[in-house]
Amino acid sequence: MANDTIFQNWIFKDYILPFLLVFVLVFAVLERTKLFGEEKRQLNAITAFVIGLIVVGFLFPKEVMSNMVLFLSVALVILFVFLLLYGFVASDKKEGLQLGKGLKIGLGIIIGIAVILAVIWATGVNTSIFDILFKQTWSEEFWTNFVFVLVFVFVVAWVYKSAGGKKE
């Protein structure tokens, strides 16, 4: 049987890491925004320390943070693999990887939807929303029609754009 390392100990993963994450993020935001004024590092540190202790003291925020960090880890690996493969195909040797405006907008929309779904999943609301959206008598027809209309709108927009937006 393998021995647990200090990083696998329940004190470290349930208390120390969430506290450090919250402390560093709150401290950085307070330093950047200068909410308490210039050169108030001690006040920023005390505020971040108290907020970190409050967050660690409750189970639900720790679970949400753990789930969001798991999502972030997986999402970063997926994004890295996508950009790596895209860079092999579309990279210019002189300028490196250049993402087009449409690809940036598309990735932004996908990332936004993924973050919303991750927050829903991390907070545990996903079962009720999933049931409301996908397990109703009307849901199959609605989502089929929704996807059809969405594809139709994208095709019309693409045709309109490729025609130069000219009306005849």
Give the CA radius of gyration of the chain: 23
pLDDT tens figures, 137-149? 888 888 899 999 9
Closest CA to 52 of 68, 65, 34, 69: 65
Across the chain, what does the average pLDDT equal? 83
pLDDT at 166 over 60: no
% of the chain exceeding 90 in pLDDT: 20
- pLDDT value at position 32? 92
Find where tokens 């307070």 sit. 30
Cβ-based neighbours of 35, under 8 Å, separated by 6 or more: 44
- pLDDT value at position 9? 81
CA distances to 1, 40, 69, 103 from 30, in Å: 45, 9, 22, 34
pLDDT tens figures, 80-125? 888 788 777 766 666 666 777 887 888 889 888 888 888 888 887 7
% of the chain exceeding 70 in pLDDT: 89
Number of separate domains in the chain: 2
Residue 90 domain flag? no
Domain-terminating residue out of 57, 73, 95:
57
Q: How far apart are CA 45 and CA 31, in angstroms?
A: 9
Residue 116 domain flag? no
Instruction: Summarize the confidence of residues 135-162 as an average pLDDT.
Output: 87
Residue 132 domain flag? no
Residue 46 domain flag? yes
Closest CA to 122 of 71, 69, 70, 64: 64
Residue 119 domain flag? no
Residue 49 domain flag? yes
Domain-terminating residue out of 57, 74, 104:
57
Residue 121 domain flag? no
Residue 3 domain flag? yes
More confident residue, 51 or 164: 51
Domain-terminating residue out of 40, 57, 74:
57
Domain that holds residue 32: 1-57
Instruction: Summarize the confidence of residues 53-78 as an average pLDDT.
Output: 87
- pLDDT value at position 67? 85
